[in-house]
Amino acid sequence: MPGRLARRFLPLALLWWAISGGGSAWAWGVPAILIAALAMPQSGASRLRPLALLAFLPVALWLALRGGLQVAALACRPRPRLESRVIDHPWHCLPEGPGRLLMASLVNLIPGTLTLRLTPDRLRVHVLKPNTDTPAELVRLETRVARLYRHGNAGGENESRGENENRGENEEKELR
């Protein structure tokens, strides 16, 4: 419990620091942060592993940059020649839950893909300009997203640390 509170406190404090413009109002801030940390409902984000998330951030930004460049280049072409296609991406290793939602939103960032529909067994994706490795890229993104999450019981607080370390390998085994 104290660990979880601390994990919530830090991002909230950062948020307050940014919003209050340099943190001159901590007398108001600290109580507000404490109340928010205690009252915040348990969300999917609490199961994210912070360090893995930090490592994933550059990847996501790089994907966003490539996606933006591709669409901009397509739009500026004299005749935008699109070969849009709808493909299905069956789930490989992500369990039901917040991970899938994150994946669905990330698909909107990677070059040329847009999530059309999220169903329990597949992700329907609209592809602007299909190339042969789009399905492979989706699988790679899914394993990356799965690594961000500690899986297990919904609460997530009873897990031991050692268990989390093995997660990545387990997912790769499942994939094969």
Partner 1 sequence: MTEWLHPLGYALIAAGTGFFVAGNLGLIRFPDLYARLHALTKADNLGLGLICLGLACQAPSLAAAAKFLLVWALMLVASSIGATLIASTALACGLRPRQQRPGSMEDDEREDTP
Residues lying near partner 1 in the complex (CB under 8 A): 14-15, 17-23, 64-65, 67-76, 79-86, 104-106, 108-109, 111-112, 114-118, 124, 126, 128
What distance, in Å, lies between the first and last C-alpha atoms of the chain?
37
Task: Check: CB of residue 126 under 8 Å from CB of residue 76.
Answer: no
We find the least distance from the C-beta atom of residue 125 to partner 1, in angstroms, to be: 10
We find the least distance from the C-beta atom of residue 65 to partner 1, in angstroms, to be: 6
We find the least distance from the C-beta atom of residue 139 to partner 1, in angstroms, to be: 19
How far CA 99 is from CA of 36, 96, 131, in Å, comes to: 24, 7, 26
Q: Which is nearer to partner 1, 5 or 72 (CB)?
A: 72
Q: Which is nearer to partner 1, 44 or 152 (CB)?
A: 44
We find the least distance from the C-beta atom of residue 115 to partner 1, in angstroms, to be: 4
How far CA 33 is from CA of 8, 42, 49, 86, in Å, comes to: 9, 16, 21, 45
Q: Which is nearer to partner 1, 62 or 155 (CB)?
A: 62
Q: Can you tell me the distance from the alpha carbon of 140 to that of 109, in angstroms, rounded to the nearest whole number?
A: 14
